[in-house]
Amino acid sequence: MIETLQSAFQGIWAHKMRSFLTMLGVIIGIAAIIGIVSTIKGTNEQIMQNLIGAGNNNVKVSLKQGNDEYYMDFGAPSGVSPVSEEQKKEIRSLSGVEDASFYLFRNWSDDIKHGDKGLDSAGVLGIDQHYLYTTGYQVTEGRAFTETDYKDFHKVILMDQTAADSLFPEGGAVGSTIDIGSEPFIVVGIVDKVKSAEPVIQSYQDYVNYADQDFGVVMLPDASWPIVYGYDEPANCVAKAIDVESMSTVGQSIEIIMNRSVAGSSLDIESTDTEMVSEEETEESSGDGMSGSDSSSIRYKALDLLEKARNKQELAASTNNLLIWVASIALLVGGIGVMNIMLVSVSERTAEIGLKKALGARKKRILTQFLTESVLLTGIGGILGVVAGIVLAEIISRTSGTPVAISIPAILLGVIFSMVIGVVFGLLPSVKAANLNPIDALRRE
């Protein structure tokens, strides 16, 4: 075997330029595929991070009218009762849920003021004690809400840095008083998103998805919510799934549990201490009660960011798959080039083959020699192609801003595939060499 490899190396090295030009088609094909696959992987990871966040895994379940968000700014809907404590416990006990929070919300509030300064548009949330952890907020200044704040209906608030900068441009927000409507509230803390929970905004569409975060957020204890807004308002839910893969199933399960609070809905499930609700049950239940396609219907629906991410990934992949097929043509051309050069090599070494066979070399030995040379030729081309592909991926990333993630399986597959090309396209020349008649071969020389 070692002698066969040495002979193959000698054959390639003896015609360095010709060997390199033969490898070129394989190098270009493998490089193109590595570059495209790395771009696809990087784009998919970026899409997932943009929509879901790194390690946040939040699933939001909110009231929808048809397929549109129901805004409590227009008043609480009839026929929807508050989520019960039993429902909350059941949701938090789901096997795919790490924690869950239930919150009240006003999308755009313009009645938040401090002196002559006000927020033009801010989100106001009535939160429970699970909200900060579940959604990835941390207190950067002051304190969080305490049990006493909830028990005694204290008029205290938390606000994010955007709201604090707008109302207190010179600082000193904590301990100050602001007005929500006609009610004074004391600022007890400033909160900010944990870095790993922040979405990555790289495009206008990302900005649209997270635009509400740019207007500032003010939070008060949900127990104090009726001081400013209505009593017995239906709460939304945000759950923290244990992993990204659980998000869709968690959302479906929470939908079913929360829709028990919607009048006219027959949605119901057994207690799910250890098992999640199956997708089939969810599909059955979606046909009961009020239909989501009816513009007048109101029911709880999950915002399936995971499904959105997958849809975007599939759209990007469908385009890039076409590019992979185009790059594969370069590999095909490279394989034909290998076959052509190996046929030339057989013709050039006819006398050598005839002499070896006259001295007793078997067909298998001749076949192995030429096949090894073909595989070695494409294998070296594959390795060079992988290196070129990694460089190409980095160039694409730097010039276009497209995220890139090198795929180890794609690299291994590229090298193995290049060797398979050597076997497939080197087989015909090798068989031709092995079948040469030694007398005819010596006579031809």
Residue 132, pLDDT score: 95
Secondary structure string (H, E, C) spanning 113-151: EECCEECCCEEEEEECCCHHHHHCEEEEEECCCCHHHHH
Higher-scoring residue by pLDDT: 86, 333 = 86
Report d(CA 232, CA 80) in Å as an integer. Answer: 10
pLDDT digits (tens, 9 = 90+) for 89-108: 999 999 999 999 999 998 87
Residue 307, pLDDT score: 61
pLDDT at 421 over 70: yes
Secondary structure string (H, E, C) spanning 21-83: HHHHHHHHHHHHHHHHHHHHHHHHHHHHHHHHCCCCCEEEEEEEECCEECCHHHCCCCCECCC
pLDDT at 298 over 60: yes
Q: pLDDT band at 276, cuts 50/70/90?
A: very low
Residue 316, pLDDT score: 61
In a domain, 322, yes or no: yes
Chain mean pLDDT for the chain:
77
Q: Report which of 27, 24, 25, 31 is spatially closest to residue 334, judged by C-alpha positions.
A: 25
Report d(CA 254, CA 102) in Å as an integer. Answer: 12
In a domain, 54, yes or no: no
Residue 264, pLDDT score: 62
Q: Which residues pair with 196 in a beta bridge?
A: none
Report d(CA 421, CA 196) in Å as an integer. Answer: 44
pLDDT at 292 over 50: no
In a domain, 221, yes or no: yes
Residue 309, pLDDT score: 60
In a domain, 61, yes or no: no
Q: Is residue 38 within 8 Å of residue 295, measured between CB atoms? A: no
- Same domain, yes or no: 266 and 198: yes
In a domain, 13, yes or no: yes
User: Looking at the whole model, is its pTM more than 0.75?
Assistant: no
- Same domain, yes or no: 109 and 235: yes
Residue 428, pLDDT score: 75
pLDDT digits (tens, 9 = 90+) for 217-261: 999 999 999 999 888 889 999 999 888 778 888 888 999 999 998
CA of residue 370 relative to chain centroid, distance:
46
Residue 388 CB neighbours (<10 A): 17
Report d(CA 235, CA 257) in Å as an integer. Answer: 13
Residue 79, pLDDT score: 85
In a domain, 303, yes or no: no
- Same domain, yes or no: 331 and 417: yes
- Same domain, yes or no: 393 and 351: yes
pLDDT at 336 over 60: yes
Tally the domains of the chain. 2
- Compute, in degrees rounded to 10, the torsion defined by CA atoms 342, 347, 351, 356: 30
- Same domain, yes or no: 383 and 410: yes
**Segments forming the whole domain that contains residue 265:** 68-291
Q: pLDDT band at 273, cuts 50/70/90?
A: very low
Residue 203, pLDDT score: 52
pLDDT digits (tens, 9 = 90+) for 13-24: 777 787 888 888
- Same domain, yes or no: 172 and 225: yes
- Same domain, yes or no: 368 and 255: no
Name the least confident of 182-196, 263-277, 304-318, 403-417. Answer: 263-277
Name the least confident of 75-79, 185-189, 213-217. Answer: 213-217
- Same domain, yes or no: 227 and 257: yes
Last residue of a domain, one of 256, 291, 326: 291
- Same domain, yes or no: 43 and 72: no
In a domain, 424, yes or no: yes
Last residue of a domain, one of 227, 258, 291: 291
- Same domain, yes or no: 141 and 285: yes
pLDDT at 212 over 50: no
Helix (H, G, I), strand (E, B) or coil at 92: helix
In a domain, 306, yes or no: no
Residue 85, pLDDT score: 93
Last residue of a domain, one of 291, 326, 344: 291
- Same domain, yes or no: 73 and 12: no
**Strand 183-193 vs strand 156-160: parallel, antiparallel, or unpaired?**
parallel
Residue-wise DSSP of 305-324 = HHHHHHHHHHHHHHHHHHHH
pLDDT-above-90 percentage for the chain: 24
- As a whole number, mean pLDDT of residues 60-70 equals 85
- Same domain, yes or no: 428 and 335: yes
- As a whole number, mean pLDDT of residues 58-87 equals 85
